[in-house]
Structure 1
Amino acid sequence: MKQDLKNYYLRLISIFTKVALQISPYLFLRSANIINLEWKEIDFDKKIIIRANKVKAREDFIIPLSQSVLDLLLYVKNFSYSNSKYFFPSNISKSKTMSKNTLNQAIKRLSFGDKILYHGFRATASTFLYEYKNIHKQDSEVIELCLDHRERNKVKAVYNRSLRLDDGRELMQWLSDFIDKLKRDK
């Protein structure tokens, strides 16, 4: 019965909400960053998102994209609205973003609401990345840059502006492969 209810709710959730939830473990963006994602911020050729971070540091945040994420973004592109600047628009108005509660409500409808909230994707990704540092071989700085956590030492931050994109790309691909393997082995 519980699985039937979950399948019913899956049919009710919009394709944009589904894909936003599907890419969230791979990207572990803040919910405001995912729901406000604009088409102009995705560079499919360079395999990156250049996100003007309006949430925290007010600086651009560059997110390397794994192949799994690119595949999902290209898939949802087939359903997009030509008159919407948002990658994940609202069901009510294509000129607006989905509600900040949409993702958490979808998680609840899928009966995971007592186990996780949207922000939990960030904590889970951070935990996995730190737990498996000896396997992926990236240091804490790269993990924190992928989480969009900036250097807090203001003097160091002035001199070190490196985004370590190659390392971030390797780390994001490693996490993507890790998630894909978990899904296959399920």
Structure 2
Amino acid sequence: MKIISPLTQKAINAAIKKQKKKITDGYVKGLTLMLVRQSYKWRLRYKLGKKDSYYTIGDYPTIGLSEARKIAQEIRNLLLKGIDPNEYKRQKQIELKIKQETKTFNHFANQFLVNKKKGVTKSRFKRNYLGTYIHYIQPFIGNKKINEITRTDIIEIIKQVPKIKLPNATRSTNKTYKAKEVLQVIKKIFDYIINLGLLEYNPAFTIDVKHLLPKEEKTKMKAILKPNKARELYKKILNIKTPTVKKLLQFQALTGLRNVGLYRLKWDYVDFEKKLIIYPPKTYKDNQEPFRMPLTDTLIEILIYFKQIYPVYTFKEEKLQEDSFSSKLSKYYREYLTKEHNPHGWRATFSTLAYENQKLHNISVEAIELQLNHKVGNKVTRAYMRSDFLEERRKLLEWWEEFLITF
């Protein structure tokens, strides 16, 4: 009796190179890779009663060896129960068609949105998912059956995005940025439908927005690197008439903190007596260790002002979401200061000018980098470097404030 060895990837490659018409696997009984009209397909030979039959598993290499064996074994399990796999497949296809014809895209989109709502912030869900679906997707394909929606339908949606005018819209009419978001939401909904076993192919797959719409022209946000420009901007901050806005933007300009550092800062982290902020692990971006930040007299004055306003968080109400907080900061810059600079730009400004003026302040590179919460050196260096240069960084912040107010 001829013993058939289990297939290997190497054996498959060699057989295909020689264009063998049939390659048999010795691991799962009846599993073969057959050449059919210039392409290879996985098939399982089986016998139910006296008749030999074939079940087509799928194309190679779309279905690899391990997956083909898994499917073949599942079919073998059906045979043990006396079920004809081809008849079972036909029945499933009929059931699937009935489900597809009775449920619209809207039905599954709503299911997807309910699940998505649990995993993102309220503001992000409303803006990036629910709003995107209601305004840009639902009107076009919401009432269509899922198996009727084509790639052409989705392409047409993308082309329509720039033409859709929403009330209170703040963006320009060139909405390439929004078209990308719309496409992503459509893709994710179809992926959800595929995972339910109701479709086998995502019609949004491989569609590229940049080939359908002109590239969006954006106003480039620049970090202000020139000393006089940095001083002019800081002076504008000091001249803002609304105290809460002025002091919030002033605090960020003087510290180089990220938006997330302002957003997550709680009074529990502030030690007025030691003139210090201590962010616990995972509270300032993804810091693994506590991040200590020194405070100057001006920074303490700002904190004392906000202590009278907010009970838990230093710069915000408890219910305010992170996305909304960052948007608010950017809005302040557009309304009070400039459209060519954003809050995060102070970090690059601080870093560049601190390095350029190192001979004046004589503060170490390590102190500058640690103030920005950057990692210094490699793993070995960090393992032996126990200091966070706190007092040196305090002097750096005092120099920085003096630098910004000196004309």
Q: Same fold by TM-score, threshold 0.5 exceeded? A: yes
Instruction: Give the deviation of 1:88 after TM superposition.
Output: 0.9
Identical aligned pairs, as a percentage? 32
Residue 127 (str. 1) matches residue 352 (str. 2): yes
Q: Are positions 1:30 and 2:255 aligned together?
A: no
Q: Which amino acid aligns with 2:313?
A: Y
Moved over 4 A (4+): none
CA–CA distance in structure 1, aligned partners of residues 393 and 350 of structure 2: 14
What stretches of structure 2 of length at least 5 have no aligned partner?
1-235
The answer to whether residue 288 in structure 2 is matched with residue 58 in structure 1 is: yes
Shift of 1:108: 0.9
From 119, 135, 155, the counterpart of 2:380: 155
Cα 1:169–1:54 shift into 2, 3 Å: closer
> SS at the partner of 2:279?
strand
CA distance in 2, matches of 1:54, 1:25: 17
| Larger displacement relative to structure 2 (49-58 or 150-159) | 49-58
Q: CA deviation at 1:56?
A: 3.2
- Decide which structure has the larger Cα Rg and report it: 2
Cα distance in 2, alignment partners of residues 117 and 42 from structure 1: 26
Residues 17/37 of structure 1: CA separation in 2 closer, same or farther (3 Å cut): farther
1:66·1:176 contact (CA, 8 Å) conserved in 2? no
**Alpha carbons of 1:54 and 1:66: their partners in 2 closer, same or farther (altered >3 Å)?**
closer
Q: Deviations 1:52-77 (Å, cap 9, x if unpaired)?
A: 34413332111111111111111222
Alignment partner of 1:62: what SS?
strand
**Offset of 1:151 from its aligned partner?**
2.3
Which residue number in structure 2 is paired with residue 73 of structure 1? 303
Q: Is the counterpart of residue 173 in structure 1 residue 398 in structure 2?
A: yes
Q: Is the 8 A contact 2:291 2:373 kept in 1?
A: yes
Shift, 1:118, TM fit: 1.0
Decide whether aligned partners of structure 1 residues 149 and 19 sit closer, same or farther in structure 2, where only a CA change above 3 A counts. same
For residues 54 and 142 of structure 1, do their structure 2 counterparts lie closer, same or farther at Cα, with a shift above 3 Å needed?
A: closer
Counterpart Cα distance in 2 of 1:28 and 1:111: 17
User: Which runs of 5 or more residues in structure 1 are unaligned?
Assistant: 1-5
One-letter amino acid of the structure 1 residue matched with residue 360 of structure 2:
I
Per the TM alignment, residue 111 of structure 1 is displaced from its structure 2 partner at its CA by: 4.3
| Distance across 2 between alignment mates of 1:138 and 1:54 | 24
2:342 is the alignment partner of 1:112: no
- Most deviating of 126-135 and 150-159: 150-159
Q: 1:66-105 to 2 correspondence within 5 Å?
A: 66-78=296-308, 80-81=309-310, 84-90=311-317, 94-96=318-320, 99-105=325-331
CA 1:19/1:131 → structure 2, altered by over 3 Å: closer, same or farther? Answer: same
Query: Which of 251, 271, 288 matches 1:43?
Result: 271
Alpha-carbon shift at residue 109 of structure 1 (Å): 1.2
8 Å Cα contact 2:284-2:291 kept in structure 1: no
Q: TM-score, normalised by structure 2?
A: 0.38
Counterpart CA distance in 2 for 1:54 and 1:77 is: 20
Superposed CA RMSD in Å reads 2.1
Greater shift after overlay, 133-142 or 159-168?
A: 159-168
The CA distance in 2 between the partners of 1:136 and 1:100, in whole Å, is 32
Greater RCO (CA < 8 Å, at least 6 residues apart): 1
Counterpart residue type for residue 263 of structure 2: I
Return the alpha-carbon distance in structure 1 between the equivalents of residues 387 and 337 of structure 2. 41
SS at match of 2:325: coil
Is the contact between residue 17 and residue 88 of structure 1 (CA under 8 Å) also seen in structure 2? no
Say whether the 8 Å CA contact 1:64–1:168 is kept in structure 2. Answer: yes
